[in-house]
Amino acid sequence: MVDINRCGIPGRVWTALVLLFLGPAGFPQTQAPDKEILKAVQPGYFMFPIMPGEANSLSGGLGDLRPNHFHAGIDIRTMQREGLDVYAAADGYVSRIAVFTGGYGNVIFIKHPNGLTTVYGHLRELKDTLANYLRSEQYKQQTFEIDLRPAPNQFPVKKGEIVALSGNTGGSGGPHLHFEIRDEKNHLLNPLLFGFQELADEIPPFFERIAIQPLTPGSTVNGQAGRLALTPVRKPNGDYTLPQPVTASGLVGLEVLGFDRANGSPFKNGLSCIEIRLDDQEVFAYNMTNYPNDLTRLINLHMNYGIEQLTGQRFHRCYLADGNTLNLYRTDGRKGRLPLFDGKPHEVTITLYDTFQQASTLRFTVLPEPPASETGPLKPSKLPTRIFYSAEENTLIIRAANFPTAVAPPAVLYADGGESDLPVRYVRANEAYYVVDLRQQLPDSVQIGSAMAALNYRTHVIPGKETAYRDSTVHITFPAGAVYDTLHLAVSHSGNRLDVGQVTVPLNDKIEVDFVPGGPVADPKRTQMYLVSGGRKAYIGGFWKDNRIRFRTQLLGSFQLMTDVNPPTVRLLRKDHEALVATVKDDLSGLDTVRAMVNGAWVLMQYDYKRALIWSDKLDPKKPFEGSVVLEVKDRAGNLTTVTATLPPAPVQPPTDTTATEEKN
Ligand SMILES: [Zn+2]
């Protein structure tokens, strides 16, 4: 018997497959077992879609944490090569063909008789019948990006038939085949549970970092109100431990930065399961065997989104954030939050599993916080007092350095015309810390000794309720579904810059902002909003009406008006009877449209943003390009670059007898 209470999928593939559709005990069931599907998931129903029968390896797995989405399938490595045969995994028909500049790139979907669909992404090219259909539709609609749903059985395929060649199109970081298996409800299933002998994994997952997050303003870890990240140490027996003691009190959450490696691959792939035990009682389990595609954006609640924005590291949060409705968890009544109120030591066990049920375990003891936290004395300083602050969960942590005296004064919080004193919570490294519960008060500014800092908190935005903020300069509307959790909204503006909330808070929907810039805008037509964060500039856009710019954004943070004065740079690399090839680049707003005309007729230009390259793809390859060539490239600020050329008439080909040669081959 297999212990199905374990978080990890039991070792035998068949049991794992049944579990996928029954759900391990205690995990929410996302679907009823279906005879047809159970037949389909018998090993061998699907063949491996590339290099079948050979030892393959992966550079990505189901559920890997990616920007704004869980990874929807497996990434099969192709040894930095493109052009490998891609096979239909089973009988069926092509139900969707699409081309995206980013994301999947060139992709096909095959629907199978049992209702499952397989997906093949980042393809270099499709087999002839599909490629011809795609190209003719692109010409009909005069577009490069396209999303087609051929009729059922318009393009039937047989298991093992070559349907495409592998590539590196779209958002891939190198050549590979992206492969998915979906059910009829558009749930992404873990392809590894379908029994592919081409893949093996005997290497257990590993811990890179863990973090302990105080979850209420009264909670502390190692005496502090802020998040503590630690690097676990691997012991010779393979278990992990922490390099230093941990003390905590209140309500805290655990976060894990962990990965898996599989045979033959240097890549850090994701985890299948995480299980947390407190004093040997399971309090949280995460099990990634399948998930609904339409909820993939909830990854921004599953992981610590703020830390991802600031550091790029994607920690699994092992406690449920408010608003997280994913069916991936089994938790206790506290949703995985650890209650450390009793002043006693507690044993914590974190176990990571990969899909092949290799496991790694970290054990440590959380000791109670020492009773009196330190509030001084400080070493007096002649330097002016400086104030820093950051928000975590509902807690605003204010930190101040340089005091003329040995005792730090209370902070004075100003809000709504009133003021209140806030005593020092603790002193660390000669700095005084003050902790504000943002659920209780939203300070506009803070004064500590002689120093002042603007905090600019304005209002609470509550999930499920439309909220508007207005002042003389800015109107902001949050639709009812915009926030996942109560947002303590800070707003400030100066000149052409507008700050709305913090970049560390995810949004579920776009908000609408209407802003009157404080400074002159010389060229409004080409001036739009950009999100500016840590040296990055992301185009947001916007429309002007009178002196106001209105824009929609699903990101919070610092917005800045910028003027894109330069049209795109276009370098024609090749123009002849056979092909047009050019490099296209834009320095600020980014490319909007590419349009090529030869002798007045629209020509499809393929686009690879990674190489900044466009090249022609003729409808009729035998027909030479002749006459006028016009290439128009526009950026998102409306700047247009037009390149023109003239091609002489193509020399008339002497008639050749090709039939004879073909017969000889
Ligand atoms: Zn992928």
Rounded to the nearest whole angstrom, what is the distance from the C-alpha of residue 589 to the centroid of ligand 1? 27
- Distance of alpha carbon 190 from alpha carbon 268, whole angstroms: 17
At residue 221, the 3 state secondary structure works out as strand
- Residue 325 tokens read as 């409705």
- Residue 18 tokens read as 């049944």
- Distance of alpha carbon 475 from alpha carbon 353, whole angstroms: 48
Q: Which residues of the chain have pLDDT under 70?
A: 1-41, 372-373, 653-665
Q: CA nearest 207: which of 324, 70, 313?
A: 313
Rounded to the nearest whole angstrom, what is the distance from the C-alpha of residue 302 to the centroid of ligand 1? 19
Rounded to the nearest whole angstrom, what is the distance from the C-alpha of residue 251 to the centroid of ligand 1? 37
Rounded to the nearest whole angstrom, what is the distance from the C-alpha of residue 581 to the centroid of ligand 1? 28
| E strand map for 523-568 | 527-533, 536-541, 543-545, 548-553, 557-563
At residue 306, the 3 state secondary structure works out as helix
**Residue 20: what pLDDT?**
56
- Distance of alpha carbon 224 from alpha carbon 193, whole angstroms: 43
- Distance of alpha carbon 342 from alpha carbon 339, whole angstroms: 8
Rounded to the nearest whole angstrom, what is the distance from the C-alpha of residue 120 to the centroid of ligand 1? 9
Rounded to the nearest whole angstrom, what is the distance from the C-alpha of residue 74 to the centroid of ligand 1? 6
What letter would DSSP give residue 295?
A: G
Rounded to the nearest whole angstrom, what is the distance from the C-alpha of residue 170 to the centroid of ligand 1? 10
Rounded to the nearest whole angstrom, what is the distance from the C-alpha of residue 111 to the centroid of ligand 1? 19
Rounded to the nearest whole angstrom, what is the distance from the C-alpha of residue 179 to the centroid of ligand 1? 7
What letter would DSSP give residue 472?
A: S
Please, what is the Cα angle at 404 between 399 and 409, to 5 degrees?
A: 50
Rounded to the nearest whole angstrom, what is the distance from the C-alpha of residue 520 to the centroid of ligand 1? 45
Task: Give, in words, the CATH class of 46-194.
Answer: mainly beta
Residues 164/127, Cβ–Cβ less than 8 Å: yes
What's the gap between Cα 255 and its chain centre? 17
Report the relative pairing of strands 569-575 and 580-585 from DSSP bridges: antiparallel
At residue 390, the 3 state secondary structure works out as strand
**Residue 635: what pLDDT?**
97
**Residue 374: what pLDDT?**
74
Rounded to the nearest whole angstrom, what is the distance from the C-alpha of residue 298 to the centroid of ligand 1? 18
Instruction: Tell me the backbone φ, ψ of residue 199, rounded to 5 degrees.
Output: -120, 140
| E strand map for 124-165 | 125-126, 146-148, 156-157, 162-165
Terminal-residue alpha carbon distance, the chain: 61
- Residue 348 tokens read as 């914590």
Rounded to the nearest whole angstrom, what is the distance from the C-alpha of residue 571 to the centroid of ligand 1? 32
**How buried is 31 (Cβ within 10 angstroms: 0-12 exposed, 13-18 middle, 19+ buried)?**
middle
**Residue 23: what pLDDT?**
52
Rounded to the nearest whole angstrom, what is the distance from the C-alpha of residue 205 to the centroid of ligand 1? 20
Choose the CATH number for 569-647 among 3.40.640.10, 3.90.800.10, 2.60.40.760, 3.40.50.720: 2.60.40.760
Rounded to the nearest whole angstrom, what is the distance from the C-alpha of residue 457 to the centroid of ligand 1? 40
Rounded to the nearest whole angstrom, what is the distance from the C-alpha of residue 192 to the centroid of ligand 1? 14
- Residue 611 tokens read as 């190489």
**Residue 39: what pLDDT?**
60
Q: CA nearest 466: which of 453, 482, 484?
A: 482
- Distance of alpha carbon 233 from alpha carbon 211, whole angstroms: 14
Residues 109/118, Cβ–Cβ less than 8 Å: yes
CB atoms within 10 A of CB 242: 19
Rounded to the nearest whole angstrom, what is the distance from the C-alpha of residue 333 to the centroid of ligand 1? 35
Rounded to the nearest whole angstrom, what is the distance from the C-alpha of residue 77 to the centroid of ligand 1? 10
Residue 402 identity (one-letter amino acid): N
**How buried is 3 (Cβ within 10 angstroms: 0-12 exposed, 13-18 middle, 19+ buried)?**
exposed
- Residue 350 tokens read as 């974190």
**Residue 361: what pLDDT?**
97
Beta bridge partners of 620: none
What's the gap between Cα 373 and its chain centre? 39
- Distance of alpha carbon 208 from alpha carbon 282, whole angstroms: 22
CA–CA distances in Å: residue 176 to residues 84, 109, 607, 616: 9, 17, 19, 24
**Residue 12: what pLDDT?**
40
Rounded to the nearest whole angstrom, what is the distance from the C-alpha of residue 382 to the centroid of ligand 1? 56
CA–CA distances in Å: residue 407 to residues 383, 445, 446, 450, 536: 15, 22, 18, 14, 40
- Distance of alpha carbon 519 from alpha carbon 522, whole angstroms: 10
- Residue 282 tokens read as 């399971």
Rounded to the nearest whole angstrom, what is the distance from the C-alpha of residue 517 to the centroid of ligand 1? 42
What letter would DSSP give residue 193?
A: G
Rounded to the nearest whole angstrom, what is the distance from the C-alpha of residue 209 to the centroid of ligand 1? 24
Report the relative pairing of strands 359-368 and 246-259 from DSSP bridges: parallel
Rounded to the nearest whole angstrom, what is the distance from the C-alpha of residue 47 to the centroid of ligand 1? 18
CA–CA distances in Å: residue 486 to residues 261, 333, 512, 596, 599: 38, 21, 18, 49, 58
- Distance of alpha carbon 453 from alpha carbon 445, whole angstroms: 6
At residue 247, the 3 state secondary structure works out as strand
Residue 502 identity (one-letter amino acid): Q
Rounded to the nearest whole angstrom, what is the distance from the C-alpha of residue 490 to the centroid of ligand 1? 37
Rounded to the nearest whole angstrom, what is the distance from the C-alpha of residue 122 to the centroid of ligand 1? 8
Rounded to the nearest whole angstrom, what is the distance from the C-alpha of residue 270 to the centroid of ligand 1? 12
Report the relative pairing of strands 431-437 and 395-401 from DSSP bridges: antiparallel
Contacts of 445 (CB under 8 A, 6+ apart): 413, 414, 452, 453, 454, 455, 456
- Distance of alpha carbon 520 from alpha carbon 404, whole angstroms: 42
Residues 446/387, Cβ–Cβ less than 8 Å: yes
Q: CA nearest 16: which of 287, 261, 359?
A: 287
Instruction: Tell me the backbone φ, ψ of residue 323, rounded to 5 degrees.
Output: 95, -10
Rounded to the nearest whole angstrom, what is the distance from the C-alpha of residue 115 to the centroid of ligand 1? 22
Topology, domain 459-563: Chondroitinase Ac; Chain A, domain 3 (2.60.220)
Whole-structure pTM value: 0.91
Residue with tokens 């919080």: 413
Residues 584/616, Cβ–Cβ less than 8 Å: no
Residues 170/100, Cβ–Cβ less than 8 Å: yes
If DSSP states are collapsed to H, E and C, what string results for 22-64?
HCCCCCCCCCCCCHHHHHHCCCCCCCCCECCCCCCCEEECCCC
Rounded to the nearest whole angstrom, what is the distance from the C-alpha of residue 232 to the centroid of ligand 1? 29
Rounded to the nearest whole angstrom, what is the distance from the C-alpha of residue 58 to the centroid of ligand 1? 10
Rounded to the nearest whole angstrom, what is the distance from the C-alpha of residue 85 to the centroid of ligand 1? 17
The alpha carbon torsion through 479, 481, 482, 486 (nearest 10 deg) reads 110
DSSP 327-341: S-EEE-TTTT-EEE-
Rounded to the nearest whole angstrom, what is the distance from the C-alpha of residue 249 to the centroid of ligand 1? 41
